[in-house]
Amino acid sequence: MSIKRYSTEGIIISRKNFSEADRILKVYTKHFGKLTLIAKGIRKPKSRKRGSLEVFGQIRFSASMGKNLDIMLEVEIIDSFDLIRKDLKKVALAYYFLEVVDKLTQDNEKNVALYEFLQSALGSLKETTSLKNDKKRFVVGILTILGFWPANKKLEKPDEFLESVTERRLSSPRVGKKLLA
């Protein structure tokens, strides 16, 4: 029996606790699209991977294919986006970005342009002072990259159009609207 292993980089979209010491992660990766992985033993106090797996952190990791979920083996932090974590409004917008990516993408659909766009959007949050413009630019950009909106065409109400595409109200934008108002 051969175990297939792979390595790539990604941005952690979400995480949830599983069993006593494990955590299930959704990661948008550069080479494989959105993946759901399990990090075994990550919640143990002595785990070396523990601080590496925070939401909207950019990581380089290796994993092996499992029966149901792939198993994360090694992790290295590329960027933890600490400057974003120091500002509540920026944190809210970063969570919004990740929720939008999660709702608009399917598992295992590779899209390098989307990965680079998400990485760039999170990177620009570090220095920005205009969160409303960043939010609008992100929504229009992701809709364009995923083919929901034509490039170079003005989108008057991006939030409304995004909700029509996802067919539901996103929870993060309400927080984002309150914070950005």
Domain spans, the chain: 5-79, 82-180
The structure tokens 């380089």 sit at 60
**Beta bridge partners of residue 73, listed in sequence order:** none
Across the range 143-172, mean pLDDT stands at 82
Across the range 135-159, mean pLDDT stands at 88
Q: Which residues contact 62 (CB under 8 A, 6 or more apart)?
A: 5, 6, 7, 72, 73, 74
Alpha helices in the chain (DSSP H): 82-85, 88-104, 112-125, 131-145, 158-166, 171-180
The whole-angstrom separation of Cα 146 and Cα 6 is 26
Taking only the tens place, the pLDDT of each residue in 109-124 is: 999 999 999 999 999 9
Sheet strands (E) in 19-57:
22-29, 33-39
CATH superfamily placement of domain 5-79:
Nucleic acid-binding proteins (2.40.50.140)
Model pLDDT, residue 154? 87
Global pTM reads 0.86
**Residue 76's closest CA among 64, 60, 62, 63?**
60
Taking only the tens place, the pLDDT of each residue in 45-85 is: 776 666 668 898 999 999 999 888 999 998 899 998 989 98
